[in-house]
Amino acid sequence: MVISRNFPCLFFIVIAGVSMQRPLLADGSNVDKVYHPYVQPLEKEIEWRALYQSDNDRQRDRVQIHRLGYGQSINENWFAEIYLIGEKSRDESFGVDEIELEALWQITEQGEYAADWGMLFEFERSLDENINEVSASLLTERQWGRWVGTANLALIYEWGSDIDNEAETALALQGKYRYSRALEPAIEVYSSEGGLGAGPVLVGSQRLVGRRQLRWEAGVIYGLDEDAADRTYRFLLEFEF
């Protein structure tokens, strides 16, 4: 697989491209999490994710987005998850207003090629408005000793009577150092028309009894242009069993 051998070059070319040019479209920040192209057989999980924005713009300041999901592996290569998504802003109280379905496909075996590959498919529907979104993301990951580089490149399409039909792209990158299972410092980059941002993230996990495991992520993404929120704090807590 030629693209796997050239992944280190591809990874840094993409990073450079983010700072040199704007992505095609996107009507909001794509700061969320970076997905890895792996499926663990027989795995089940309950996941909570949260975002909190801080910005001088009143419309973006104090916006919170929460996701609560349940997922499980279907077989050795597919993992499915369903989320309820709620939002709170300065002027509106918290309410659950979206539902999302995800399917992750692990394409290659870990270590089979120079880089590991997968795909993520998502469908999101608003519960309050006629807005729908589908996306397909290419996931790739490469390890160099204790260093791990991960890239997510998404193609998104939105449609509905309450939104202009449009195609969008989004990019998420993570560079992580495997210091220990409990602590892995990382740098993440997010790019969309909703803005360009980057910042530090801490990742960790704790083994529990049997197959049970608790994973967590916490970080802050700083806006690097006028379209992005000044700071976006992101948190993840995942219970695997």
Identify the H or E element spanning 20: helix 7-20
* pLDDT for 28: 64
* pLDDT for 52: 97
Spatial contact of 98 and 85, defined as CB atoms under 8 Å apart: yes
* pLDDT for 9: 44
List the chain pLDDT tens, one digit each, 241 residues: 444 444 444 444 444 344 333 333 334 678 999 999 999 999 999 999 999 999 999 889 999 999 999 999 999 999 999 999 999 998 899 999 999 999 999 999 999 999 999 999 999 999 999 999 999 999 999 999 999 999 999 999 999 999 999 999 999 999 999 999 999 999 999 999 889 999 999 999 999 998 899 999 999 999 999 999 999 999 999 999 9
* pLDDT for 194: 86
The single-letter DSSP state of residue 226 is: T
* pLDDT for 19: 38
Show the tokens assigned to 89: 């802003």
Smallest Cα–Cα separation from 33: which of 188, 186, 180? 188
d(CA 79, CA 83): 14
Phi, psi of 31 (to 5 degrees): -65, 125
| Domains, in order of start, for the chain | 2-240 (2.40.160.40)
The sign of the torsion formed by the CA atoms of 120, 100, 167, 192 equals negative
CA distances, 100 to each of 69, 80, 229 (Å)? 9, 11, 24
Smallest Cα–Cα separation from 48: which of 91, 81, 95? 81
CA distances, 155 to each of 26, 57, 102 (Å)? 10, 28, 14
> DSSP string spanning 31-44?
-S----S---TT-E
Helix, strand, coil content of the chain in percent (nearest 5)? 5, 55, 35
